[in-house]
């Protein structure tokens, strides 16, 4: 049996892009249906941002306890801690359940009809949804179709996922901790989770194709991360490719000199990127313009077909939850009749390594490559009182500004807790702040944020505390 319904907006995908679009559309009185094949909250809430940050936090707490047990300069004395990884995973799952349940409640409150099932596109205005637990197929006719189908991990043919070869999803729910873990890819996921596993006591080896870790960030910014990796005992093999895996020898690797060697490991985490989810649900039949692997969209998040919109990871880089959410709001408001565009001055990026890395706007290299005469100035956490009280003086805050009018073009920071500075950085860019605005703002003492003010002061040539 097939049941038919009509609606103004049909959203495919209940991740940060899709659920935010649906809630906002509902708030604005747009009749909205959302189809989700797996779980509300998408990759971010179920198998991405939230569970990874939970695991990272647990790993950090465990490492801190171990360090105290090893003799603490703070005078804290504890017995050697142990880890119940099954309880850690249950705690993480509890956070995920609370958040995904909350998304369901918000959608209900906004009057959105949620259908659990995989959507299949018949044409730009007709989609069938196969209920996840069986039952009647639903045919939805819509005026507007929003694609928010997200992304999936890239698989390496030499080490396909399954069994001991983990994707990030597997690494977020381990039954037991392996003694040795090889991580392929030193990008966001590889380093965030690789560092967490190391803190949990696992021997971690990272294999990366590029010559640097976090190769998409500039080298000065990633140096403190590299130092911390080495200090923690993570073994790095840079400029290497993975040839295969076998249970006896582990991961077979070839380096830049064409030497081949094996890295023993019980588990291998492959984190070599994610690709937009565009296949298997009839999208090809729409013959939309693509930009490489992702759906091409304009500044309104419109695809090449009238009435078909796309947001989030399916529209390519940067594949970040906050970008998907912002796009979702923009689309919902346009469908409700408002004049909106998705044109942020900057989209912050945070890597939750230890130390954390934040990038917002232009780096000095990018500004100069764009022909801009710029100032860049950094303030080290080694000269920040709050950082000393947190026992974390590595890293710095760096600002980039035009030389002629001091307009701030970018911020970069590396250090413990710098993720929380991303809001101030992004606001300053969106509001068109100049170095004088930041330098003239009273920053609370003692906070890491004082390094932001001091970087701006240094850019003006008169930092106080350095």
Query: Which residues are marked as active site?
Result: 445
Q: Which residues pair with 414 in a beta bridge?
A: 357, 396
Q: Which does residue 272 bind out of ligand FAD, ligand NAD, none, counting CB within 5 to 8 angstroms by kind? A: ligand NAD
Which strand ranges, in their side-by-side order, compose the sheet holding 260-263? 241-246, 250-254, 260-263
- If one asks whether residue 189 binds ligand NAD (CB under 6 A), the answer comes out as yes
- If one asks whether residue 316 binds ligand FAD (CB under 6 A), the answer comes out as no
CA distance 293 to 309: 16
Which one, 313 or 376, has the nearer CB to ligand FAD? Answer: 313
Residues in the chain: 466
By the 8 A CB rule, do 187 and 207 touch?
Answer: no
Interacting residue with ligand FAD among 118, 137, 155, 402 (CB under 6 A): 118
Q: Work out how close the CB of 16 gets to ligand FAD at its nearest, in angstroms, rounded to a whole number.
A: 4
Q: Work out how close the CB of 57 gets to ligand FAD at its nearest, in angstroms, rounded to a whole number.
A: 12
DSSP letters, 307-346, are TEEE-GGGG-SS--HHHHHHHHHHHHHHHTT-------S-
User: What is the Rg, in whole angstroms, of the alpha carbon atoms belonging to the chain?
Assistant: 24
- Both tokens of 10, joined, read 């049909």
Tell me how far CA of residue 79 lies from CA of 66, 69, 71, 194, 197, in angstroms: 9, 6, 10, 26, 21
- If one asks whether residue 19 binds ligand NAD (CB under 6 A), the answer comes out as no
Q: Which does residue 18 bind out of ligand FAD, ligand NAD, none, counting CB within 5 to 8 angstroms by kind? A: ligand FAD
Interacting residue with ligand FAD among 9, 10, 11, 12 (CB under 6 A): 12
Q: Work out how close the CB of 60 gets to ligand NAD at its nearest, in angstroms, rounded to a whole number.
A: 15
Segment interacting with ligand FAD (CB under 6 A) among 31-39, 100-108, 248-256, 336-344: 31-39
CA-nearest of 105, 117, 110 to 30 is 110
- If one asks whether residue 281 binds ligand FAD (CB under 6 A), the answer comes out as yes
Q: Which residue lies nearest ligand NAD, judged by its C-beta? A: 187
Site for ligand NAD in 299-318 (CB under 6 A): 318
- If one asks whether residue 350 binds ligand NAD (CB under 6 A), the answer comes out as yes
By the 8 A CB rule, do 422 and 350 touch?
Answer: yes
Segment interacting with ligand FAD (CB under 6 A) among 145-153, 202-210, 300-308, 445-453: 145-153
For the chain, the maximum distance between any two Cα atoms, rounded to a whole number of angstroms, is 74
Distance between alpha carbon 23 and the CA centroid of its chain, in Å?
A: 22
Q: Which does residue 241 bind out of ligand FAD, ligand NAD, none, counting CB within 5 to 8 angstroms by kind? A: ligand NAD
By the 8 A CB rule, do 82 and 69 touch?
Answer: no
Interacting residue with ligand NAD among 208, 329, 376, 450 (CB under 6 A): 208
- If one asks whether residue 272 binds ligand NAD (CB under 6 A), the answer comes out as yes
Q: Which does residue 237 bind out of ligand NAD, ligand FAD, none, counting CB within 5 to 8 angstroms by kind? A: none
Q: Which residues of the chain form contacts with ligand NAD (CB under 6 A)? A: 156, 184-190, 192, 207-210, 215, 241-242, 271-274, 318-320, 350-352
């Amino acid at each position: 049996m097939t049941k038919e319904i009509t609606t103004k907006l049909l959203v495919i995908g209940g991740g940060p892009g899709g659920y935010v679009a649906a809630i906002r559309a509902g708030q604005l009185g747009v009749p909205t249906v959302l189809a989700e094949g797996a779980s509300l909250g998408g990759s971010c809430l179920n198998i991405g941002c939230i569970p990874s940050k939970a695991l990272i936090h647990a790993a950090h707490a465990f490492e801190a306890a171990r360090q105290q047990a090893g003799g603490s300069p703070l005078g804290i004395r504890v017995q050697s801690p142990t880890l119940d990884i099954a309880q850690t995973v249950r705690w993480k799952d509890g956070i995920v359940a609370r958040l995904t349940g909350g998304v369901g409640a918000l959608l209900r409150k906004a009057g959105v009809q949620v259908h659990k099932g995989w959507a299949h596109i018949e044409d730009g205005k007709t989609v069938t949804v196969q209920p996840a637990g069986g039952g009647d197929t639903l045919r939805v006719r819509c005026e507007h179709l929003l694609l928010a189908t997200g992304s999936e991990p890239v698989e390496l043919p030499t080490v396909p996922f399954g069994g001991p070869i983990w994707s990030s999803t597997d690494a977020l729910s381990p039954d037991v901790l392996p003694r040795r873990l090889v991580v392929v890819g030193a990008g966001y996921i590889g380093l965030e989770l690789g560092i967490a596993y190391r803190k949990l006591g696992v021997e971690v080896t990272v294999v990366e194709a590029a010559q640097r870790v976090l190769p998409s960030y500039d080298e000065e910014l990633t140096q403190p991360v590299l130092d911390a990796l080495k200090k923690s005992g993570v073994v790095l093999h840079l400029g290497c490719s993975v040839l295969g895996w076998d249970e006896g020898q582990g991961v077979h690797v070839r380096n830049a000199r064409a030497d081949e060697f094996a890295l023993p490991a019980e588990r291998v985490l492959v984190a070599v990127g994610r690709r937009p989810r565009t296949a298997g649900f009839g999208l090809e039949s729409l013959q939309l313009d693509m930009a490489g692997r992702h759906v091409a969209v304009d500044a309104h998040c419109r695809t090449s077909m009238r009435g078909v919109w796309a947001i989030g990871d399916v529209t390519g880089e940067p594949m970040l939850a906050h970008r998907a959410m912002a796009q979702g709001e923009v689309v919902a408001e346009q469908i409700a009749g408002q004049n909106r565009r998705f044109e942020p001055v900057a989209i912050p990026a945070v890597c939750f390594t230890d130390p954390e890395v934040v990038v917002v706007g232009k780096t000095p290299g990018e500004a100069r490559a764009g022909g801009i005469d710029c100032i860049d100035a950094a303030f080290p956490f080694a000269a920040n009182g709050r950082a000393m009280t947190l026992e974390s003086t590595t890293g710095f805050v760096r600002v980039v500004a035009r030389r002629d009018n001091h307009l701030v073009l970018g911020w970069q920071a590396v250090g413990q807790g710098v993720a929380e500075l991303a809001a101030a950085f992004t606001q300053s860019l969106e509001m068109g702040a100049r170095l004088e605005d930041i330098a003239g703002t009273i920053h609370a003492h003692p906070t890491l944020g004082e390094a932001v003010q001091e970087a701006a002061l240094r850019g003006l040539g008169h930092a106080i505390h350095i």
